[in-house]
Chain A
Amino acid sequence: MMSGKRGQEELLSVIIQLVIVTLFLVILVYFINSAVSGILTKDQMSAKSLALIIDSAKPNTVISITSETELSIEGNKASAKSDKIPYEYDFYSPYTFDFKKREGGVYILTIK
């Protein structure tokens, strides 16, 4: 009887350990997946892409951009926001431009 009870306790202990380790592994895999697929850097990617587009664009150009994140331009900063804190990146274009949002996450950038 004693050895049976002892066996049950050890089994329970092992099961609890396995559950905890599995939980940690799931969190780890989820986080790695988010990092590798770019979810963690989505805003950064969008803001930097927008800044590079503006830096590379020549005058009298109209560019259509589709983005899942909320894009905006303030002064010489391109910013992207999908959560609360926006990510901003500087650009250096000397030209003036219009930046308008349309439906379906489409933005129209007109370099003048």
Chain B
Amino acid sequence: MAEVFGEDIVIWIFRFILIVIILLGVLVMITKYYSNLDVRPAEALAISNRIIDCISADGIVDASKISKEQLLKCTNLDENEIYVNLTLNSMDTNFSKSVNLGADLEALCRAKEKNVKIKAECLIQKFYVLLGNEKAKLDLVVGIKKGEKNVV
């Protein structure tokens, strides 16, 4: 046995190291690829639905509910991880109201709309609603960081 290894020992070591490197490489890639499930799109949709339910009833928006306090009351959001921008514009009058909550991801979310790769997940939605008897447009942006637990 000693002779067998004695003659081919250098080739053996190289082969062994090569196999180990390939194996480790494959394992690391698989682990990284499968280690995090990104649920932020579903999470953003859930937050968006909750906000819409909170500020409106049957498609009629209550403008007095478009406030930071109301958003916090509706969603209990972590302001370090989640960004919400809610903008209501009347289509019949000049009435406009906007509220921001959390770390500002607006610019990043708008950049993502133009296919710029960023680590935050964004959901940008537009709703046509009623504001009393007026027609209005509601823009909602929900941005979620939470990269550590969702991004590979």
A residues with a Cβ closer than 8 A to B are: 9-10, 12-13, 17, 20-21, 24, 27-28, 31-32, 35-36, 40-41, 44-45, 48, 51-52, 55-56, 58, 76, 89-90, 92-94
Contacts and interface: CB of A to CB of B under 8 A. Distances in A.
Interface string B72-84: 0111111001100
Contacts of B77: 92
A19 B77 CA distance: 55
A52 B46 contact: yes
B31 A35 contact: yes
Interface in B8-51: 8, 12, 15-16, 19-20, 23, 26-27, 30-31, 33-37, 39, 42-43, 46-47, 49-50
Contacts, number: 72
Given A24-B23, A92-B47, A92-B82, A40 B35 contact: yes
Q: Which 7 A-B pairs have the closest CB atoms?
A: A55-B46, A35-B34, A94-B76, A56-B46, A9-B4, A48-B39, A35-B30
B58 interface: no
B97 interface: no
B23 A27 contact: yes
Contacts of A58: 53
B92 interface: no
Given A17-B12, A20-B16, A56-B46, 15 more contacts: A20-B19, A27-B23, A28-B27, A40-B34, A41-B34, A41-B35, A45-B37, A48-B39, A51-B43, A52-B42, A55-B50, A90-B81, A92-B50, A92-B75, A94-B74
